[in-house]
């Protein structure tokens, strides 16, 4: 009896990258694009060519040093700065990353009022925290 997977030879990441890697220009910016695997849940990675060498260096550091078992801990303010985006008149941001992290979405016209509200309740928040 034969294997039920006989027609699904696994391809290495190198083989898939060699098949899919391409360089293209969009709006005057050169990009390199590749997929590292195929199938559901996979897709192409697109990097500006101007950042490619630095990305390769980052991956090289992982080869040399491994990956820390701890997730990178960035502060909540840094998470907000890194994830803030504007789309269709709505600002969205995340206060944390990782699985299940959902963005807060606030209309552009309301953001100043939200900030004012937060500033006005800082002392109350800190006071309540001390009582915990």
One domain, residues 88 and 123: yes
Q: Within 10 A of 43 (CB to CB), how many other CB atoms are there?
A: 9
Backbone angles phi, psi at 8, to 5 degrees: -115, 65
Confidence band, pLDDT 50/70/90 cuts, at residue 114 = confident
Q: What is the mean pLDDT of the chain?
A: 79
Q: Is residue 71 part of a domain?
A: no
In this structure, the answer to whether residues 30 and 59 fall within a common structural domain is yes
Give SS3 for 27.
coil
Containing structural domain, residue 33: 13-65
Can you give the pLDDT at residue 27?
Answer: 92
DSSP-assigned letter for residue 36: S
Question: Over the stretch 4-49, which tens digit does the pLDDT of each residue have?
Answer: 555 555 677 888 889 899 899 999 889 988 888 777 766 788 888 8
Q: Is residue 19 part of a domain?
A: yes
54-64 pLDDT per residue, tens: 888 888 887 77
Q: Is 21 exposed, middle or buried (0-12, 13-18, 19+ CB in 10 A)?
A: middle
Q: What is the pTM of this model?
A: 0.48
- Residues 49, 88, single domain; the answer is no
Q: Report the number of distinct structural domains present in the chain.
A: 2
pLDDT at 53 over 90: no
């Amino acid at each position: 009896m034969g294997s039920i997977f006989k027609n699904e030879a696994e391809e290495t990441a190198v083989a898939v990258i060699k098949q899919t890697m391409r360089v293209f220009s969009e709006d005057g910016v050169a990009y390199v694009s590749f997929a590292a695997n195929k199938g559901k849940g996979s897709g192409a990675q697109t990097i500006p060519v101007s950042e490619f060498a630095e990305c390769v260096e980052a991956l090289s550091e992982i080869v040399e040093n491994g990956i820390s078992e701890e997730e990178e801990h960035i502060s909540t303010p840094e998470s907000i700065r890194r994830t803030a985006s504007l789309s269709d008149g709505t600002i969205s941001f995340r206060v944390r990353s990782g699985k299940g992290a959902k963005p807060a979405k606030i209309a552009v016209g309301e953001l100043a009022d939200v900030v004012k509200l937060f500033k006005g309740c800082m002392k109350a928040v800190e006071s309540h925290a001390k009582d915990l």
